[in-house]
A = this chain, B = another copy of it.
């Protein structure tokens, strides 16, 4: 094993230090400009204030001004910024990565272009890489909460990239008896799947909010939650094809949807909407937290609308997404468009 440098000391990157360190890598964790407090406390006693876990003694911590030192001798770099740090990473970090050192990213999300094109971050980065910089990109997707990974619960994710040999080499740094990693060369499919699931976890969680609103009425309300889960899978399945991914990546979209609906911020937003809160109220309740689900749902809806305008897709094929967008961005109250789910499909012949 060798030196692995993680840039961004968010929860997921920090959780990845567990398998990396246990595999005998030298692990260097670099805070972004937003991670000052996190790094300060880690240096004291290895306790991560947001992850709420103590990292392994022996991990080396750096602030962003020390990033070049942290990169010196690294054989692998992990990009651990949130989707809000994508341009910061693009403009400030790539040029510092030593020649030939690959980057694997845990950042989940997509960019939408005016014509409705949805671009996953590895594509976006590749296209906008600073002049003269050439970095090989890989990415991570799949259902994995940072805390469960830190606690050594069995986790099953996928790593993607165009060079499968290099990907196997990357995997060898991470794989343990509790962290299981499939590999695929479908970067667009995997990354789209796990980006989309944030918006749809928000949508599915509306049912949880609606249930809460009714109070203890003696009804399990599992049907309505699974109904939205099902509709989410269907809309993501269509979107995977639209963005140019392989539809078999639906396994990661569905698996990641399952874990995301089980807890976390994306669920919270949908739940609060279902309970009847307005977006300004929700933003206040979740102040200081990055709401990636809101961003990805908004971008995906905007892309669908743009594509619909030129006849590439139909908005009516995405009723849940359109309703989520209405609630997030146009002041609508949750009122699930159930009847719009009643599609008639005539396609037994494949």
Given contacts A156-B338, A233-B251, contact A350 B246 (CB under 8 A): yes
Within 8 A of B (CB), among A180-206: 180-189
Smallest distance from the beta carbon of A163 to chain B beta carbons, Å?
11
- Spot the interface stretch: A72-80, A254-262, A276-284: A254-262
Determine if A182 and B221 form an interchain contact, defined as CB atoms under 8 angstroms apart. no
Name the one of B181, B223, B255 contacting A259, with C-beta atoms under 8 angstroms: B223
Given contacts A147-B220, A226-B255, A233-B250, contact A182 B343 (CB under 8 A): yes
A252 contacts B by Cβ under 8 Å = yes
Beyond A230-B143, A250-B233, A255-B230, whether A185 also contacts B221 by CB under 8 A is no
CB <8 Å contact, B186 and A153: no
Could you say which of A221, A230, A350 has the most chain B C-beta atoms within 10 Å of its C-beta? A230
CB of A332 within 8 A of chain B?
no
A236 — nearest CB in chain B belongs to which residue? B251
A274 CB within 8 Å of chain B:
no
Among B153, B248, B342, the residue within 8 A (CB) of A223 is B153
Residue of B nearest to A186 (CB): B348
| Chain B residue with the shortest CB-CB distance to A261 | B258
Besides A148-B220, A148-B222, A153-B222, 9 other A-B contacts (C-beta < 8 A):
A153-B223, A156-B341, A168-B344, A181-B342, A182-B341, A183-B345, A184-B344, A220-B262, A233-B254
> How far apart are the CA atoms of A220 and B154 in the complex, in Å?
11
